[in-house]
Amino acid sequence: MGFEQEIKKRRTFGIISHPDAGKTTLTEKLLLFGGAIQEAGAVKNNKIKKSATSDFMEIERQRGISVATSILAFLYKDKKINILDTPGHKDFAEDTFRTLTAVDSVIVVIDVAKGVEEQTEKLVQVCRMRNIPIIVFINKLDREGKDAFDLLDEVEQKLGLTVTPLSFPIGMGYDFKGIYNIFEKNINLFSGDSKKNIEDTIAFNDINNPELDNIIGKKAAEELRENLELANGVYPEFDKEAYLNGTQQPVFFGSALNNFGVRELLDCFIEIAPIPKDKMSQERLVKSNEKTLTGFVFKIHANMDPKHRDRLAFVKIVSGTFERNKPYLHVRSNKKMKFSSPNAFFAEKKEIVDISYPGDIVGLHDTGSFKIGDTLTEGEVLYYKGIPSFSPEHFRYINNADPMKSKQLSKGIDQLMDEGVAQLFTLEMNGRKIIGTVGALQYEVIQYRLEHEYGAKCTYDNFSVYKACWVQPEDINNEEFKEFKRVKQKFLAKDKKGQLVFLADSQFSLQMTQQKYPSVKLHFTSEYE
């Protein structure tokens, strides 16, 4: 198969949701369709259980397990599908944000009863910022939930999307009869049996066909006709271009647990979802069909087993092919590197591969040379944008608790920050180090790992910060900026890349600062236009 065909074959995407909406169940059903796994339950261990939130060791153990399953690839109808796992747990939100830089599209799962939840809002916001094509899957139709139209309204309003349903439920909960597939113009009847034969669909080119009344009952048929008419009047017609450029979002209904509506979703997905996209680098637009390799690291996963200290760096291939044992340029260090055992991912296994294509993810064994955002090329000096840091939620001073081990401590902190476990800020005034995290849990993880992996001990002191804001002065030489730096000295720090950050201690002080120094722009993320 030629290079271009290999690219066209690939669909690389993420499934995002608020915890418990059904992401794991849906992932598993998709894998079953691909014949990648034999039984339900195989993906479950990929999930960080709610009950484990107070036990970080358990979470890390589960994260260890999830290395192998963090990319799930399978073949379906001759397409190579790469699903990138995105942890729903909010303490790992940053991991998910970074993973979203490596997907070409997403499927958002929403619980029919709970509607749009907090975590969904945040994640969709990130997707919208990047114009990532989104398909919405409304799940758990076998349960009582919100009215379909109300839910579509809610999705539009809370997520700021422009939706168009491509399927429509017939009844719900106890009365759930099936789904009308607007995209394919047929009906799939629900039997409430997860092992149901998925071929069991009835074609209906004309919804007014009286046969429909016999099949689903007169009342349900009338209701469906009314609903479809209404939907037709209210929502725009599906427009593939609009979906691809992120301005329209198709919606499907179903029940992942009962394997219902999943095939429709998948069949439509492989038809409309984007193939690996061209990507903007800081230097130029890189086309996915360029022959030379470019790729970037979007995730680093530490091995929790103390006997195997290596880490796995996940590289998304943007252009060209990645070949085993071929030397590539690690752009940041300006060094050539060769990889004798690059991992590819297939279903729940990882294996060594000789060649990978745009859209694929390779896992590279790493002993500390990679950082999130690093690029590999065949010689070109090129960096990809779009792996921003967001303001952490928690901030603490980190102190060295064993003066004999200060070297180990700084090495440990350095490497953990490269992995993206947390963010480091160094105060301008006195050089004290502050660790910022999205969840309080990360402090325990860091302390534990510093001790067990680097032999260093640390303690923390509270440091009250409302938000970290990246500072963008209009002109570094103007008086206003100089005054800002002098007056706010106590609250200024450098992030790991040396960018200036203002640590606002309250919402009020942030507002006051913005008013007082209008030419100094303050951003909640490290990358801004």
Q: Which of residues 443-482 bind ligand G4P (CB under 6 A)?
A: none
Q: How many residues bind ligand G4P (CB under 6 A)?
A: 18
Pair 342, 348: CB distance under 8 Å:
no
DSSP per residue, 158-209: HH---EEESEEEES-GGG--EEEETTTTEEEE--S-TT--TT-EEE-S-TT-
20 touches ligand G4P (CB under 6 A): yes
Least Å distance, CB 23 to ligand G4P, is: 3
**178 assigned binding-site residue:** no
Task: In whole angstroms, give the CA distance from residue 13 to residue 383.
Answer: 22
Pair 85, 46: CB distance under 8 Å:
yes
Least Å distance, CB 251 to ligand G4P, is: 16
**473 assigned binding-site residue:** no
29 touches ligand G4P (CB under 6 A): no
Least Å distance, CB 267 to ligand G4P, is: 18
139 touches ligand G4P (CB under 6 A): yes
Task: In whole angstroms, give the CA distance from residue 253 to residue 140.
Answer: 8
60 touches ligand G4P (CB under 6 A): no
Of 21-29, 146-154, 237-245, 407-415, which segment contacts ligand G4P by CB under 6 A? 21-29
**140 assigned binding-site residue:** yes
Q: What letters, b where the CB count within 10 A reaches 16 and e where it falls short, cover 458-491? A: bebeebebbbbbbbebeeeeeeebeebbeebeeb
**142 assigned binding-site residue:** yes
Q: Crossing angle of helices 148-159/118-129, nearest 10°? A: 60
The only residue of 21, 161, 166, 212 in contact with ligand G4P, by rule CB under 6 A: 21
Pair 284, 388: CB distance under 8 Å:
no
Task: In whole angstroms, give the CA distance from residue 312 to residue 67.
Answer: 8
Least Å distance, CB 107 to ligand G4P, is: 12
420 touches ligand G4P (CB under 6 A): no
Pair 111, 18: CB distance under 8 Å:
yes
Q: Which of residues 487-526 bind ligand G4P (CB under 6 A)?
A: none
172 touches ligand G4P (CB under 6 A): no
Cα 377 off chain centre by:
24
The only residue of 71, 83, 163, 257 in contact with ligand G4P, by rule CB under 6 A: 257
How many C-beta atoms lie closer than 10 Å to residue 520's C-beta?
23
The only residue of 10, 23, 98, 523 in contact with ligand G4P, by rule CB under 6 A: 23
Residues sharing a CB contact under 8 Å with residue 409, sequence separation 6 or more, in sequence order:
400, 402, 450, 454, 456, 457, 458
143 touches ligand G4P (CB under 6 A): yes
φ/ψ of residue 480, rounded to 5: -60, -45
Closer of 25 and 447 to ligand G4P (Cβ): 25
The only residue of 11, 47, 146, 449 in contact with ligand G4P, by rule CB under 6 A: 47
The only residue of 12, 25, 294, 437 in contact with ligand G4P, by rule CB under 6 A: 25
- Grouping H, G, I as helix, E, B as strand and the rest as coil, residue 221 is helix
**26 assigned binding-site residue:** no
290 touches ligand G4P (CB under 6 A): no
Least Å distance, CB 111 to ligand G4P, is: 8
Q: What letters, b where the CB count within 10 A reaches 16 and e where it falls short, cover 400-422? A: beeeebeebbebbbebbbbbbbb
24 touches ligand G4P (CB under 6 A): yes
Give the pair of three-digit tokens for residue 453: 């992996």
86 touches ligand G4P (CB under 6 A): no
Amino acid at 377: T
Task: In whole angstroms, give the CA distance from residue 149 to residue 152.
Answer: 5
261 touches ligand G4P (CB under 6 A): no
Closer of 143 and 196 to ligand G4P (Cβ): 143
Of 158-166, 256-264, 326-334, 477-485, which segment contacts ligand G4P by CB under 6 A? 256-264
Of 18-26, 125-133, 194-202, 461-469, which segment contacts ligand G4P by CB under 6 A? 18-26
Give the pair of three-digit tokens for residue 72: 């799930």
* Sequence ranges of the binding site: 17-24, 85-89, 139-142
Residues near ligand G4P, by CB under 6 A: 17, 19-25, 47, 88, 139-140, 142-143, 255-258
Binding site residue list for GTP:
17-24, 85-89, 139-142
